Amino acid sequence: MSLKSFLIGSPIETIKEKHERLTKTMGLAVFSSDALSSVAYGPEEILLALMVGGAALLHLSIPIAVGIVILIAIVATSYFQTIHAYPSGGGAYIVAKENLGTYPGLIAGAALLIDYVLTVTVSVSAGIAAVTSAFPGLRDHVVAICLLAIGLIMIINLRGVKESGKIFSLPVYLFVGGLLLLIAASFSRSFSILQPPMPDLKPSAGNLLPMFIILKAFASGCATLTGIEAVSNGVRAFKAPEAKNAGVTLVWMAVILGVLTIGIAYFADYYRILPNANETVLSQLSRTIFSTGPIYYTIQFATSLILILAANTSFADFPRLSSIMATDRYLPRQLSNRGDKLVFSNGILILGFMSAALLVVFRGDTHALIPLYAVGVFTAFTLSQAGMVVHWLKERGDGWMRGIVINGLGTITTGVVLVVIAVEKFEHGAWIVLIAIPALVYLTRKVHQHYESVAEQLSLDSCIIEAKDYQHHSVIVPISGMQQAVIGAIKYGKALSDDVTAVYVYIDPVETRKMKEKWDALCMGVKLEILHSPYRSVTEPLMDYIEGIREKYPDGVITVVLPEFVPSKWWHHLLHNQTALFIKGILLFKKGVVSTSVPFHLRK
* Global pTM value: 0.73
At 339-377, the pLDDT tens digits run 766 678 889 999 999 988 888 887 766 666 666 667 888
Task: Report the alpha-carbon distance of residue 305 to residue 297 in Å, rounded.
Answer: 12
At 520-566, the pLDDT tens digits run 887 678 899 999 887 778 888 999 999 999 999 988 999 999 998 88
Residue 561 pairs in a beta bridge with: 596
Q: What is the CATH number of domain 473-601?
A: 3.40.50
Task: Report the alpha-carbon distance of residue 253 to residue 33 in Å, rounded.
Answer: 9
Cα separations (Å) of 375 from 93, 219, 277, 451? 16, 10, 25, 30
Q: What is the CATH number of domain 2-452?
A: 1.20.1740.10
Task: Report the alpha-carbon distance of residue 444 to residue 324 in Å, rounded.
Answer: 13
Confidence of residue 135 (pLDDT cuts 50, 70, 90): confident
Domain locations in the chain?
2-452, 473-601
Query: Residue 210: pLDDT above 90?
Result: no
Report which residue type is found at 314.
S
Question: Can you give the length of the chain in residues?
Answer: 604
Task: Report the alpha-carbon distance of residue 312 to residue 170 in Å, rounded.
Answer: 14
The burial class, CB within 10 Å (0-12 / 13-18 / 19+), for 254 is buried
At 283-335, the pLDDT tens digits run 888 888 888 788 888 888 888 778 777 777 788 888 888 988 998 999 998 88
At 156-199, the pLDDT tens digits run 888 776 777 777 788 888 888 989 999 999 888 877 766 666 66
Phi, psi of 196 (to 5 degrees): -60, 155
